[in-house]
A and B are shown apart, each in its own frame.
Chain A
Amino acid sequence: MNVLTKNFSFFLDAFGQTLQLFAISAVLSLVLGTLLAALRVSPVPVFRGIGTAYVTILRNTPLTLVFVFFVFAYPLLEILKIDEYTAAVVALSLYTAAFVCEVVRSGINTVPVGQAEASRALGLTFTQMLGNVVLPQALRSVVPPMTSTMIALLKNTTVASGFAVFQAGNIREQLSDQGDNVLLGLLWVALGFVILVMPLTYVQQVFEKRWSVAR
């Protein structure tokens, strides 16, 4: 307990940074991932190809390598200067978007094909069909796997420790520098993550309940 009370403001600060990194990356990856899923089910072969290529590359690359690229390699290209924090957000968002895409796409596949056919028969365009008919129904069935993806993102933020972006993953170094009990400190960090994940699980339950009614 001593480790925690002594460094409480430090813990709070670190987890605050974790949350911020998570929140920004979550929003960006959800938006990008949904757009990618739309590409992957598009009637245009080129769009489908782009979506598939993106998922293949980003999902099959270790997250650390994605970080390495944006923190070390990307600046050498001298396109647009970004600091480490932005690089971390970009790496996390692009990486997670590949997983979000696949979750959304699997949701789209659960919507009966007749729903899309009825939309097309009424004269809705592809985007209107996706936005008004297919995606709203697809999202109902993706709540549990999407929550898992978001939980993974939350924990993946600790990878940023290796790239000079301060968050909960850095707590260990600090404790170690101060000569505190690192093992005990890490247990508190683990508990911190459990506490952060709990609201996500709660949100999952709320959405599952709300969306199961209208089926």
Chain B
Amino acid sequence: MTAASAPPMIRVAGVDKFFGPLHVLKNVQLEVPKGQVVVVLGPSGSGKSTLCRTINRLEPIDSGVIEVDGQPLPAEGKELARLRADVGMVFQSFNLFAHKTIVENVMLAPVKVRKTPAADARKTAMELLERVGIANQADKFPAQLSGGQQQRAAIARALAMKPKVMLFDEPTSALDPEMVQEVLDVMTGLAKDGMTMLVVTHEMGFARKAADRVIFMSDGEVVEDSTPEEFFSAPKSNRAKDFLGKILTH
């Protein structure tokens, strides 16, 4: 366990968010200590993706506090860009830069944001692509890769910034079933290496295997916050029981 004095990597306190009249996040409380892997589960429309996106302020919040590594999120601008550089994010739809090759995708932010010399950035990029198993695709364009390969490239791109924490917003939801595992394997590897991770997903297997904690959200509220064993074997709330009943019967 980390020392009690160290701030949590992510602290979300009393966060509310509205989309028009829709109350998508209701007084959300969440702390993710350094090195922990937290999986957020919940039915669609429960606000889990929105929560994930508020942490690097892709979605601004209406009230409450969000801190990353003890620092409250600044307003839009240079300071926020600096903070985002330390927070890796992986999207459901990959969002690789369509006009750049895979290795260029991975190099872009280190070169532009960190001012790493291009040669060094390329070397690091190739190492990362090696690690996620697609070094042989480095000079192709994103559209030439399979979904699973694209998502692994997107993970490599996020890792190239040496982030303190990684956010995953349904990273396998847009993938064909046979490609889900290759992405989950990369994520499990990251978790083993001690990366702090917040993962919004529908992959129960990943939650069981790699998560230190499971957060269950429903209707914009955090309903349960427990260990995977506890959550899957003995959920406390009816909403969680209902949710698990729907997915685990198959």
Contacts and interface: CB of A to CB of B under 8 A. Distances in A.
Interface in B128-178: 141, 143, 154, 157-158, 161
A124 B91 contact: no
A124 B112 contact: yes
A118 B157 CA distance: 10
B85 A122 contact: yes
A215 B89 contact: no
A56 interface: no
A49 interface: no
Is chain A's interface secondary structure helix, strand, loop, or mixed overall?
Answer: helix
B95 A115 contact: yes
Interface residues of A, number: 21
Nearest to A111: B98
A174 interface: no
A96 to B, nearest CB: 26
B112 A118 contact: no
B208 interface: no
A61 interface: no
Contact of A122 (B93, B99, B141, B157): B157
Nearest to B101: A214
Contact of A214 (B88, B93, B98, B108): B98
A20 interface: no
B98 A215 contact: yes
Interface in B84-116: 84-89, 91, 93, 95-99, 108-109, 112-113
6 contacts: A121-B56, A122-B85, A122-B89, A122-B157, A124-B113, A128-B112
Interface of B: 56, 58, 76, 78, 81-89, 91, 93, 95-99, 108-109, 112-113, 141, 143, 154, 157-158, 161
Interface of A: 43, 112, 114-115, 117-125, 128, 132-133, 136-137, 140, 214-215
